[in-house]
Every structure is written in C-alpha cells, then in structure tokens.
Amino acid sequence: MKICIDTVVLIDVLKNEFQPYQDKLYSALTAKEILIAPAVVYAELMPQFSGNTKHVTAFLKDHKIKIDPLEIDAVSIAGARWMRYLKRKSKLKCPNCGQNLNKKEHFLSDFYIGGFALAKCDAILTRDRGIYKKYFPELKNYTPA
C-alpha cells in the first residue's frame, strides 16, 4: 500500500509527541508499506533541521520516506479544493454585526499534500484530519492492519 506521510507526523517523531501517530508510522515501516510525501513536506521539515538539507534527507532516508515532485494532477486537485476553501472562508460573517470572521487559517501546502495523496496514494498518515476530512473526504486515513 502507498501511504502519503503528512509533515505533522514527522514533526511528532522529531519532537517525540503524539505517540499513537508515531506508532502508526513505525507500523507502516514494519509492514513494508511504501511511504512517500510530496516535495512540500521536505520544505516544511527544513526549519526542524535549521535548514540543513543533509539532515532532512538523512532523516527521511532513515524512515524510508521517498519525496516525490508535485505533478499537475495533484496540483489540479489541490487547486480545486483550495478554491472551495477560499470560497467558504470568504462567506463567514458575524450574524450580529456582519463583519468577516477570522477562522482557522489553512495553508496551501495542506491542500498540496491532500491533492498528492489523492492522486498518488492509497491512504494518508496524518494527525490533522480536519482539513482532509472536510476538503478531501474520499481520502482514506491510514490505519495499520
């Protein structure tokens, strides 16, 4: 099975937090699942290594995670879902005063990861199901066998 690994799970490993998600990653490794992530995950990991690309690359290699480029099919899916998010976001107004409401902001990279997962993978391993559940409902969350 091809599993897309979300950045947040890798940060959990680095910070030794959210053990159940780390366990899922290590279960996937033990099961010899194919672990991949879009290039944007590499960029999101760089601050954890103070920009040292050799350390980022070594960490990913140690965890058998392959980085793939974002291709047009994944970017097209991401763009369509991003537009849906922006449309919904712009319509949120206070019922009392009519002012625009500030709702949790999502980043385009979240949509790239979701689009990548839909285009290239069988499931996603993530701790953040909110955005994926809402904007990528057909995306399967990885659970070890």
Regions of the chain with pLDDT less than 50: none
Other CB atoms within 10 Å distance of the CB of residue 4: 29
Q: Which pLDDT value is given to residue 49?
A: 98
DSSP of 2-52, one letter per residue?
A: EEEEPHHHHHHHHHT--HHHHHHHHHHHHTT-EEEEEHHHHHHHGGGGTT-
Domains of the chain and CATH, by start:
2-135 (3.40.50.1010)
Q: Which pLDDT value is given to residue 35?
A: 98
Q: Which pLDDT value is given to residue 92?
A: 65
Q: Which pLDDT value is given to residue 97?
A: 76
pLDDT > 70 in the chain, percent? 91
Instruction: For residue range 58-73, list pLDDT tens digits in order.
Output: 999 999 999 999 999 9
Q: Which pLDDT value is given to residue 112?
A: 97
Q: Which pLDDT value is given to residue 107?
A: 87
Q: Which pLDDT value is given to residue 115?
A: 97
Q: Which pLDDT value is given to residue 63?
A: 98
Q: What does pTM read for this prediction? A: 0.86
Q: Which pLDDT value is given to residue 90?
A: 66
